[in-house]
Amino acid sequence: MFVKNQKYNLPDKDGFFGEFGGMFVPENFKPVLRRLDDEFEKAIADENFLKEVYDLLKEYSGRPTPLYFAKRLTDHYGKGKIYLKREDLNHTGAHKINNVIGQCLLAKRMGAKKVIAETGAGQHGVATATAAALLNLECEIFMGETDMFRQRSNVDRMRMLGAKVNPVTQGTKTLADACDAAIEYWLNHADEVFYVLGSAVGPHPYPKIVRFFQSIIGAEAKQQILEKEGRLPDYVLACIGGGSNAIGAFTAFIEDESVKLIGAEAAGEGADTDHTAASLTKGKKTYLHGMYQYVLVDDEGNPRESYSISAGLDYPGCGPEHCYLRDTGRAQYYPITDVEAIEAFERLSRLEGIIPAIESSHAVAYLEYLMPKTNKDDIVIVNISGRGDKDSERILEILTQRKLWIKSK
């Protein structure tokens, strides 16, 4: 159920998707990444390895996840049909487990005893801690102090699973800083640890590795929609920060040109404000975290702080394949504000009894723009990348405050 051997043959041998991507790391570290690339390619050519990965995803994580027809949400718009790919029903509550199971089994295959990871919303950290416990690996997680506060329940889960959680106190104390800290630790301990990178970012071969293990999302959805509707969807929609759930949803459909691919990125207080994470809308081409990509920059061209209510989308750049898909026009990316995401969080909860992660709510929010343009026969798949119990307390508080403010007016 993983996607490989497509005519769409990217990245190239040097890790580039067009001009984006690459391996921009110190020369003495390139052999580590080349060995990882070699071992990954050997692993995915080994049917026994792929069976081991899929068996765990099936028996332990609960795949395949359902493709659910959202009747009340569909009726709400009165236009095309809306299906939800329920990645929130995975063990640990998000899509992150797909990639983590694969990478942790690869780590064991390569002889590693310890894994490290960065995390923003905590979903990748929880998934890594979970797989490490299952596979008897030592685990250390780097998480921004700000995110530790706003995602306290996930911090508790990581610790319960036996992981050491390191607060990152520099910068904005969010996901980008957690990435910096994890990469720095990895550079100094590469002989001892395996870095389980959570998104489709970083130096080659990580974007390719993450895409492969997450491609199960779109592969399943494609088979499921053909069974349910007898044809491909017209649209596939996903939220995007670094881009792992979106590239997972998109990959199986990239060669199907009739299927429109749409990413909803975090605009924060607005794409035209300084408080945004909309790198594909407002970013410039530059280098960050070992790759060439679109990045939010200041007046001097240096990466600047990003902002989003969503810790998982609060990243100043974006995966190189999404940058390529944007520039070639194969996918379109649109900014969604905090307010729009919060409203979508409530809408899906009230209409379908599904509480989405605030990250996923950005994708749900884009339906407000998309659905009026659809016809009755159109089919839309929305990837619900995670569940929202981690966000519920905070979002309910914000909604209550907003309603009190509106009432006072």
Residue 349 bears catalytic tag? no
Using pLDDT thresholds of 50, 70 and 90, give the confidence band for residue 237: very high
Reported as a single tens digit per residue, the pLDDT across 65-116 is: 999 999 999 999 999 999 999 999 999 999 999 999 999 999 999 999 999 9
Q: Kindly state whether residue 4 falls inside one of the protein's structural domains.
A: no
Residue 67 lies in a domain: yes
Task: Tally the domains of the chain.
Answer: 2
Note the pLDDT of residue 150. 84
Same domain (yes/no): 75, 104? no
Q: Which of 79, 85, 96, 390 is catalytic?
A: 96
Query: Domain check: are 256 and 174 in the same one?
Result: no
pLDDT tens digit sequence for 130-149: 999 999 999 999 999 999 99
| Domain presence at residue 123 | yes
Looking at the fold, whether 230 and 320 belong to one and the same domain comes out as yes
End-to-end, the C-alpha distance of the chain in Å comes to: 54
Q: Are 51 and 349 in contact (CB under 8 A)?
A: no
Q: Mention every residue, 6+ apart, whose C-beta is less than 8 A from residue 290.
A: 22, 23, 24, 25, 183, 202, 203
Residues of the chain above pLDDT 70, percent: 98
**Choice among 61, 199, 279, 385 that is catalytic:** 385
Which of 162, 164, 163, 143 minimizes the C-alpha distance to 152? 143
Region 169-187: mean pLDDT is 91
Q: For residue 290, what pLDDT is reported?
A: 96
Instruction: Answer yes or no: 96 catalytic.
Output: yes
User: Exactly one of 87, 118, 140, 220 is catalytic; which is it?
Assistant: 118
Q: For strands 164-168 and 291-295, give the pairing.
A: unpaired
pLDDT at residue 407 tops 80: no
Mean pLDDT of the chain: 95
Residue 5 domain-assigned (yes or no):
no
- The confidence band for 404, taking pLDDT boundaries of 50, 70 and 90, is low
Question: Is 7 inside any structural domain?
Answer: no
Q: Do the domain assignments include residue 12?
A: no
- Encode pLDDT of 275-298 as tens digits: 999 999 999 999 999 999 999 999
Q: Of 210, 235, 252, at which residue does a domain stop?
A: 210
Final residue of a domain: which of 161, 188, 210? Answer: 210
Output the pTM of the full model. 0.96
Dihedrals φ, ψ of 250, to 5°? -80, -35
**Co-location of 48 and 130 in the same domain:** yes
Domain termination site, one of 150, 185, 210? 210
Active site residue 118: yes
Report pLDDT for 4: 82
Query: So what's the pLDDT on residue 226?
Result: 98
Residue 193 located in a structural domain? yes
* 26/147 same-domain check: yes
User: Do 128 and 241 sit in the same domain of this protein?
Assistant: no
Residue 317, domain extent: 62-93+216-408
Which residues, including other chains, have CB under 8 Å from residue 75's CB and lie 6 or more apart? none
Q: Are 88 and 385 in contact (CB under 8 A)?
A: yes
